[in-house]
Structure 1
């Protein structure tokens, strides 16, 4: 890839639809929050923290991911985490972000739901005012816990309905299919939330999980979802429904043999609304623009395909038509101004 194409990808207006706020916890901030909250960490340097990032699949990643969250205790901690991410995203050309958060990972260790949502929401408001980037919050249920716990978390979220645009499903997929949470998602739909679900790459029963998400839960979007390429019927179903796939090339390369560049390129060629996102960038070392660059390099994509990915990111986002049209116009102007 030429330097010019990399610079083009970084400046290209885009939306990020698949990023876990807890996955943006950089080691430097982790140390700051630990000091603020009087928490002793076993690691003493940034290098030592990064040495713990040894994972080869989803399960080994989660074993590193969840323990790190204990430094998040106060509303200010959650604010700082989200605002730091939004600042980095803004520098990457992200104009709009729809961000996952995992309340059960915090309420389960004694942090109040209100503390979490207050901190995150205040960062959203500040980023809109100071950076001009818009953002929304998506509450994710932990699928390796019970459906009853998820329903209780949904009930806890209802007083904050104006601060949460949708609900999702993440964490360990083994033995935790979408239909396990059918009643929870039906209630969430009834309460006015939009729906998405993780169907991570190369998991047991990947295709069946995608089918359940599309046909039984009837989600508005699918997170990851790249294995859909293995089933032509589901590809056509997703295409006919206009379902966006929030794909994460660099994180793919950590939990499977490669980033699925060929599969993503094939889905893009078939007209699916493929989008490119960072997932857990503090752990995988790649924010939004880095993922565009990595996919372009591995799949041999040019400017035309990068523009399509950026347009897809806004089309798959949960935006009004007026805001969608405005963002698409920004892309058009950016491309037109290119030397």
Structure 2
């Protein structure tokens, strides 16, 4: 099969997405459209630096602002504000070299989300992408604490996203689930408060997750709040082994008792862990473009996805924060296929792994298996 043909195969095969942060699908044009509707500016604010590392980060951000022509406001104490005046400027700022630079711009976009309609529009735009890329089922993360800390009611967030997911089912036939993800740099007490606040909306959730900066915030920190979710028969997932060590994956398995591991790249550093993941048939939600952009892998041709498949791991492919990392699910499949020379059977296996690792009913999984198998057979 030629490269062109396998790209067509990727674009045509029905797919399932299991690792997508809805706030990470916020394209610059839509950020500005919603900001204008809410009469808000789009800006990054950095407080006065407390150490040399923060000073360097502010100097770098200041230079980026000058380079792209954004307004730079400098405080006498060393604090700065970078105010973006157009979607084009913001798009240029979507280039970053580390996780903190990514989070700075990520939260700048998040801050303009104010109303239920804002969350609806954000989610519907993503579902339109899903429809265009033959995604038939998606399970999306949202970060409630990133909104409630700004004074946005949890009800506003959940209702806006859920209404769009319901309409997406009617309009595009895309089934979906919503996962409430805790920010791990915050305390477990904060996560527990969020869990209690979410009680009236549990019927709209399929799971809880754990994301944000991994290092220094092991899964065990959230043992109690995850036990609460399990006792309510809510599925649990956690980001582990992206930048954090293999031990974080062990904790996700044995302390949080997750149903799925998000990322999990660094499992390959521990043979016993690989054996455990294979034995448990534990799904790993891999995000190739994100891994490359955040330097989890320095070159795409060094990505471990093919090794994972060869070891029998239940690896899958997803887009993570596609507006920031350079592509949605098809672009992730295409990038890793071209870098690693994945075969059509590899792609087929990755798609089937995602179906199996989803939180759909067994009946839904069987129906999607049948549809994907029919597609695969038709292009033989």
TM range (shorter): over 0.9
Aligned residues of 1:200 and 1:224 also touching (Cα < 8 A): yes
Distance 2:99 2:199 in 1: 30
Runs (4 or more) in structure 1 with deviation over 3 Å come to: 259-262
Aligned counterpart, 2:151: 110
Query: What's the CA shift string for 1:263-289, capped at 9, x where partnerless?
Result: 111111111110000000001121001
Structure 1: gaps of 5 or more residues: none
Number of residue pairs the alignment of both structures matches? 337
Higher relative contact order (CA 8 A, sep 6+): 1
Displacement of 1:262: 4.0
Displacement of 1:260: 7.1
Displacement of 1:67: 2.1
Aligned counterpart, 2:206: 165
Distance 1:28 1:252 in 2: 25
Aligned counterpart, 1:36: 37
Q: 1:314 aligns with which of 345, 350, 355?
A: 355
Displacement of 1:93: 1.4
Aligned counterpart, 2:279: 240
Displacement of 1:303: 0.4
Query: What's the CA shift string for 1:281-315, capped at 9, x where partnerless?
Result: 00112100111111111111010100000101101
What pairs with 1:316-335 in structure 2 (closer than 5 Å)? 316-335=357-376
Displacement of 1:145: 0.5
Q: Which moved more, 1:168-177 or 1:41-50?
A: 41-50
Aligned residues of 1:249 and 1:260 also touching (Cα < 8 A): no
Distance 1:71 1:62 in 2: 15
Q: Please say if 1:210 is aligned against 2:211.
A: no
Distance 1:245 1:309 in 2: 10
User: Which of the pair has more CA radius of gyration?
Assistant: 2
Output the TM-score relative to the length of structure 2.
0.86
Aligned counterpart, 2:14: 13
Distance 1:322 1:68 in 2: 38
Aligned counterpart, 1:63: 104
Output the TM-score relative to the length of structure 1.
0.97
Aligned residues of 1:251 and 1:259 also touching (Cα < 8 A): no
